[in-house]
Amino acid sequence: MLTLAVLIPLLAAAVLALAPVGAGAARWTATGAPALSLLALIAVWAGGGEGFRAVSEVPWIPTLGIAWRVGVDGMSLALALMSALIFVAASAWPMELHHPRSYYAWMAFLAGVSIGLFVTLDLIIFYVFFDLSLVGMYFLIGRWGHGEAQHAALKFFVYTLAGSLLILIGIIVLALNMPEMTFDMRAIIDSPPLAAAGMVPGLIFLAFVVGFGIKTPVFPVHTWLPPAHVNAPGPASAILAGVLLKMGTYGLIRIPMQMMPETFARWALPLAVVGVISILWGSIVAFAQDNLKRRIAYTSVNHMGYTVLGIAVAGSALGSEAARQMALTGAVVEMIAHGLITGALFLVAGAVWQRAGDYHLPNFGGLAGPAPRLTGAATLAAFASLGLPGLAGFVAELHIFLGTFAVYPWLGAIGLLGILITAALFLRMIRQMFFGDMPKERAGFTDLTGTETALLAGLLALVVLIGIWPAWLLELIDAAALIPALGPGG
């Protein structure tokens, strides 16, 4: 099932690249492929099981211990499910495009690569998918973006490629230090190959943190993100924020935290500090932005800071196991919540661009009258992003900060300031766009279409469901299954 979930979008991409189909057929092919992947992943979820489930393995380069290995635990299954759903929404989003067949081919390709990254159990395959995700997004931004799209795409590619090379170095060192060289994630998690002390483990940990930190991104390696978002088409921004950024935080958990637990624990405090700086920096800079997309982009730095803080607390080996488990649960829920919420926000931004050709917030106002559905979707997503109780963001941040206060209480207190600033920046955004007087140039601004409304409703319904009934997601994630790999509690 997992192999099918990866192959179906990749085969769809190949068909779209070769077959001379029309724009409508291309769009629905690119939508149907991740929808089928979503059904396959739901079937895996329904099958239940503990630890890594639905495992299959086919040798690829046996002399190097490399194989097509797939399998999921609760965390990776949750992220794969979310990714497939976001790709369905982004691919189905109505767009007026040049070369639509190529656009949808890249969307399907990126869907297969993204799902593959979350379900693979081989570090080399993980690296291959990590790099291929850069290629897909590079073309989506560079060919179908606007403004300085090609410059933004190049900056995105160079930054993240540099990070991926650091990750490759770390992967090779881990494999070479195993008793028998292997890239099997399960084997390396079960028998971490590097001791905590010494220069080599510290440097390899740093390579992973910088490499995944660029993709996440965290301060100060985040500068590629705002131009990439501002110049990308709305659906590509939804995928970039909703799916690709999660590859960074997923990688932090799966590789350095699980495969280098003792080294991770030694450096958890500096990583937590980076998380808090990202929380504050992202929210403060976002507040100062007058560009709608740039403001949302900086809130991603802020929210991924929460995730990194939760991961650092979970890997600290300080406090109680329950506190660390709580922080890790919050970090994974934050990944899911941010993917759904910010994916919706960027689709809203895309709808605004399609109608106005502008992101400059002072040029808007009074849109609540002509566009009540757009106003409702944007307001609900904004309230979820600022952590309003009853919505998914609150569940995530509550877990993260309860865990943090039990381990690094002073960092938790500082990090809470980010929530206040985030609330202020989103309330200001809502006031600027939807209330007050509508400028004359916005006369004739139209509301969301039925298709756009349905796609946003699907994402935001999950945001509400997680907020009012999170038990099903918490049970799926099963953070307790990751805790034994983190070292003893303090």
Q: Where is average pLDDT lowest: 10-19, 97-106, 340-349, 474-483? A: 474-483
Per residue in 408-465, pLDDT (tens digit) is 999 999 999 999 999 999 999 999 999 988 888 888 889 999 999 999 999 999 999 9
Measured between alpha carbons, how far is residue 339 from residues 74, 161, 247, 489 in Å? 17, 22, 11, 31
Per residue in 151-169, pLDDT (tens digit) is 999 999 999 999 999 999 9
pLDDT at res. 65? 87
* CA 136 to chain centroid: 15
- Is 237 a residue whose pLDDT tops 80? yes
Q: Is 61 exposed, middle or buried (0-12, 13-18, 19+ CB in 10 A)?
A: exposed
- Is 70 a residue whose pLDDT tops 80? yes
pTM of the prediction?
Answer: 0.94
Measured between alpha carbons, how far is residue 250 from residues 65, 77, 309, 341 in Å? 23, 11, 13, 18
pLDDT at res. 147? 83
Contacts of 276 (CB under 8 A, 6+ apart): 305, 309, 411, 414, 415, 418
Determine the Cα–Cα distance for residues 179 and 43; give it in Å rounded to an integer.
36
- Within 10 A of 147 (CB to CB), how many other CB atoms are there? 12
Torsional sign, CA 397, 402, 408, 409: positive
pLDDT at res. 318? 83
pLDDT tier, 197 (very low <50, low <70, confident <90, very high otherwise): low
Calculate the CA dihedral of residues 433, 380, 297, 287 and round it to 10 degrees.
60
pLDDT at res. 487? 43
What is the span of the domain harbouring residue 115? 2-486
pLDDT at res. 427? 95
For 193-218, what is the mean pLDDT? 89
Closest by CA to 488, choosing from 261, 205, 193, is 261
Tell me how many domains the chain contains. 1
For 276-286, what is the mean pLDDT? 96
Q: Are 84 and 115 in contact (CB under 8 A)?
A: yes
pLDDT at res. 174? 94
For 484-488, what is the mean pLDDT? 44
Determine the Cα–Cα distance for residues 485 and 175; give it in Å rounded to an integer.
18
Closest by CA to 187, choosing from 305, 42, 15, 67, is 67
Longest CA–CA span in the chain (Å) reads: 71
The residue ranking higher by pLDDT, 116 or 485, is 116
- Is 15 a residue whose pLDDT tops 70? yes
pLDDT at res. 199? 85
Per residue in 16-45, pLDDT (tens digit) is 999 888 899 999 999 999 999 999 999 999
Measured between alpha carbons, how far is residue 426 from residues 67, 361, 381, 456, 468 in Å? 46, 12, 10, 18, 22
pLDDT tier, 484 (very low <50, low <70, confident <90, very high otherwise): very low
pLDDT, mean over the chain: 92
- Is 490 a residue whose pLDDT tops 50? no
Determine the Cα–Cα distance for residues 409 and 413; give it in Å rounded to an integer.
6
Give 109's Cβ-side CA count (13 Å radius): 22
CA angle 407, 408, 412 (to 5 degrees): 120
What count of residues does the chain have? 490
Per residue in 365-382, pLDDT (tens digit) is 889 989 999 999 999 999
- Is 486 a residue whose pLDDT tops 60? no
pLDDT tier, 252 (very low <50, low <70, confident <90, very high otherwise): very high
97 φ, ψ to 5°? -130, 150
pLDDT at res. 488? 40
